[in-house]
């Protein structure tokens, strides 16, 4: 497993990291036993960064992760959780300072932790950016000063808002999803600015939330029909070559040394072991070129998320 510096935090994170959304049963029904085995296997195989949120499974992810980490030495993993998003409806977002404070305390209790290494404002495009910059981020800094958090940051889909926050506020890390994948590399446009400021870069959803998979995008996926179709064509091309588009997508995401870490999520220990093994294997350059050529017509096509003014 490769390890890379997370901006100027002083943390060294595994190139492939564990997204704990799957522990909340957001993709399928899961059992505690398989979730615990998956977490333990991931750490044993070299993953040292684990990311969760009270939103995942409506707190189930944090609860199950807390059970899994009870027997794991605290100094062997880097832990992050989030504040601000607690559901999928507009009323389920609360980026106020009081909610930051109470949410963190609730998360720490569920996780069985005294502190988290990273605390992130979750999907800030659903909030008022003025509030995010002038209330939420200062609240994150307050809990950092209190010793409950080591570093703070924000997450979101529209790169526009990440750019705006970085230009006007002080954060240690950003988490971007669906923008460093086989079909979309637009996150790389922000890398020079982020590196200049010493901000750590976390990439998530290298499979495009299912676009780059044999199963294909789920019904709820916001991608256009054209993007769904072209990604399905790329997946079929990989199958015809007896290859896995999931493996290729993960390899592609972790191969960029400018990105500290890429989050993948699974509650299946065998699947997670395959992800780790694949990430450590050399990429098939010919297959990669062929897949990128298929995807090129809709390269960097995205979708809206959150408030209209934030897109």
Mean pLDDT split into 10-residue runs, the chain, 311 residues = 97 98 88 96 98 97 97 97 96 98 98 98 98 98 98 98 97 98 98 98 96 91 97 98 97 97 95 95 97 98 96 94
Looking at the domain assignment, is residue 229 inside a domain? no
pTM reported for the whole predicted model: 0.96
Where would I find the H helices in the chain?
A: 32-44, 60-69, 97-111, 129-131, 137-145, 159-168, 191-196, 225-240, 245-254, 269-279, 285-295
Neighbour tally for 169: CB within 10 Å: 17
Domain extent at residue 55: 3-210+246-283
Which CATH number do you get for residue 268?
3.20.20.100
Q: Which of 3, 49, 56, 252 is catalytic?
A: 56
Look up 177 and say whether it is catalytic. Answer: no
Neighbour tally for 257: CB within 10 Å: 9
Pairing relation of β-strands 49-51 and 78-83? parallel
Sign of the CA dihedral 37, 19, 246, 202? Answer: negative
Looking at the domain assignment, is residue 228 inside a domain? no
Looking at the domain assignment, is residue 218 inside a domain? no
| Number of structural domains in the chain | 1
User: Using CA atoms, how far apart are residues 235 and 275, in angstroms rounded to an integer?
Assistant: 17
Pairing relation of β-strands 16-19 and 261-264? parallel
Looking at the domain assignment, is residue 33 inside a domain? yes
Query: Would you state the pLDDT for residue 210?
Result: 93
8-state DSSP, 57: T
Looking at the domain assignment, is residue 110 inside a domain? yes
Query: Would you state the pLDDT for residue 61?
Result: 97
Looking at the domain assignment, is residue 198 inside a domain? yes
Looking at the domain assignment, is residue 35 inside a domain? yes
Query: Would you state the pLDDT for residue 202?
Result: 98
Is 131 in contact with 165 (CB distance < 8 Å)? no
Looking at the domain assignment, is residue 144 inside a domain? yes
Query: Between vectors from CA 180 to CA 175 and to CA 183, what angle results, nearest 5°?
Result: 145
């Amino acid at each position: 497993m490769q390890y890379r510096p997370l901006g100027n935090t002083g943390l060294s994170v595994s190139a492939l990291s564990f997204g704990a959304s799957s522990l909340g049963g957001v993709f399928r029904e899961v059992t505690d036993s398989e979730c615990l085995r998956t977490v333990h296997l991931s750490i044993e195989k070299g993953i040292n960064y684990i990311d969760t949120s009270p939103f995942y499974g409506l707190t189930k992810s944090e609860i199950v992760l807390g059970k899994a980490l009870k027997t794991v030495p605290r100094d062997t993993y880097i832990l992050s959780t989030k504040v601000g998003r607690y559901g999928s409806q507009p009323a389920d977002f609360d980026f106020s300072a009081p909610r930051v404070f109470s949410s963190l305390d609730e998360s720490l209790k569920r996780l069985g932790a005294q502190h988290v290494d990273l605390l992130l404002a979750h999907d800030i495009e659903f909030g008022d950016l003025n509030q995010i910059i002038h209330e939420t981020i200062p609240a994150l800094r307050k809990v950092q000063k209190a010793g409950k958090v080591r570093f703070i940051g924000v997450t979101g889909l529209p790169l526009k808002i990440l750019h705006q926050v970085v230009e006007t506020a002080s954060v240690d890390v950003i988490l971007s999803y669906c923008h460093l994948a086989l079909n979309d590399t637009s996150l790389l446009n922000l890398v020079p600015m982020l590196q200049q400021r010493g901000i750590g870069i976390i990439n998530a959803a290298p499979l495009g939330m299912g676009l780059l998979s044999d199963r294909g995008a789920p019904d709820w996926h916001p991608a256009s029909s054209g993007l769904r179709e072209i990604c399905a064509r790329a997946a079929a091309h990989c199958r015809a070559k007896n290859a896995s588009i999931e493996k290729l997508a993960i390899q592609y995401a972790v191969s960029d040394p400018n990105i500290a870490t890429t989050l993948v999520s699974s509650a299946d220990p065998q699947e997670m072991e395959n992800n780790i093994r694949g990430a450590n294997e050399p990429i098939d350059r010919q297959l990669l070129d062929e897949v990128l050529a298929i995807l090129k017509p809709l390269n960097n096509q995205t979708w809206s998320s959150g408030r209209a003014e934030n897109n």
